[in-house]
Amino acid sequence: MPDAFTAYYRDFLDGSYDCVDRVVLNAYFPMGHSPAGFRHWWRQLCGSEETLDDNHLMRLAGRFSRRLRAYAETHSIRVVACEAGERKHEIAQRYLAAHPDAQGLFLVLVARAQAPVWQVQRGENGDLNLRHPKHLPFVNHYSFHLLDPDWGHITIRMCGHPPFPAQIILNGHEYLACQLGKAGHSFQKEGNGFTQIQEGVDLALVADASRPPDAIGRLSQVCERWISSACLCFALSSEEREHSGFRSQFSVYQGEYSRNLWFRQGSQMEQLFEGLIDRPRSALDVPRIKTILGLKRHPSRRRGRTCRCREQIVVERPVYNLSVLKVHFGALTLKVYPKGERVLRFEAIVHTTRDLGCGRLLERFAQIVTCLQGHLQRFLNVLREVDAPFIADAGFVAEAGDRTCDLRLR
**pLDDT tens profile 130-160:** 999 889 999 999 999 999 998 999 999 999 9
391: pLDDT strictly greater than 90: no
Contacts 24+ apart (CB under 8 A), 131-140: 131/35, 138/112, 138/113, 138/114, 139/61, 139/112, 139/113, 139/114, 139/115, 140/61, 140/65, 140/110, 140/111, 140/112
**pLDDT tens profile 153-191:** 999 999 999 999 999 999 988 888 888 788 777 777 777
**pLDDT tens profile 1-22:** 578 888 888 888 888 888 888 9
Domain ranges of the chain: 4-21+255-396, 30-164+212-247
296: pLDDT strictly greater than 70: no
Query: What does residue 164 show for φ and ψ, rounded to 5 degrees?
Result: 55, 55
> Residue 378: what pLDDT?
86
How many percent of the chain have pLDDT more than 90?
41
> 382 and 393 in contact (C-beta within 8 Å)?
no
> Residue 405: what pLDDT?
39
CA dist., res. 398 & res. 265, Å (int): 8
> Residue 97: what pLDDT?
87
Residue 192 pLDDT grade (very low, low, confident, very high; cuts 50, 70, 90): confident
| pLDDT greater at residue 368 or residue 272 | 368
Q: What does the pLDDT average to over 53-68?
A: 94
Phi-psi region of 358 (alpha: psi -120 to 50; beta: other; left: phi over 0): alpha
> Residue 162: what pLDDT?
92
399: pLDDT strictly greater than 60: no
Pairing mode, if any, of strands 104-114 and 78-81? Answer: parallel
Cβ atoms within 10 A of the Cβ of 61, count? 18
355: pLDDT strictly greater than 90: no
Average pLDDT value for the chain: 81
Strongest mean pLDDT among 200-209, 278-287, 299-308, 381-390: 381-390
> Residue 403: what pLDDT?
36
Q: What does the pLDDT average to over 200-222?
A: 69
Best CA proximity match to 275, nearest among 139, 168, 391: 391
297: pLDDT strictly greater than 60: no
| pLDDT greater at residue 207 or residue 125 | 125
305: pLDDT strictly greater than 90: no
Measured in whole angstroms, how far is the alpha carbon of residue 220 from the centre of its chain?
15
212: pLDDT strictly greater than 70: no
- Report the predicted TM-score, pTM, of the whole model to 2 decimal places: 0.84
> Residue 404: what pLDDT?
35
CA dist., res. 284 & res. 260, Å (int): 22
Q: For residue 85, with 0-12 CB atoms within 10 Å meaning exposed, 13-18 middle and 19 or more buried, which class applies?
A: exposed
Residue 292 pLDDT grade (very low, low, confident, very high; cuts 50, 70, 90): low
Q: For residue 186, with 0-12 CB atoms within 10 Å meaning exposed, 13-18 middle and 19 or more buried, which class applies?
A: exposed
**pLDDT tens profile 19-53:** 888 999 999 999 999 999 999 999 999 988 888 99
Best CA proximity match to 366, nearest among 254, 172, 211, 224: 211
| pLDDT greater at residue 321 or residue 67 | 67
> 343 and 193 in contact (C-beta within 8 Å)?
yes
DSSP letter string, 183-230: HT--EEEETTEEEEES-HHHHHHHHHHTSTTHHHHHHHHHHHHHHHHT
> Residue 195: what pLDDT?
73
Q: What does the pLDDT average to over 73-81?
A: 94
CA dist., res. 377 & res. 356, Å (int): 16
| pLDDT greater at residue 406 or residue 215 | 215
CA dist., res. 389 & res. 114, Å (int): 51
Q: Which residues contact 5 (CB under 8 A, 6 or more apart)?
A: 380, 381, 383, 384
Cβ atoms within 10 A of the Cβ of 241, count? 18
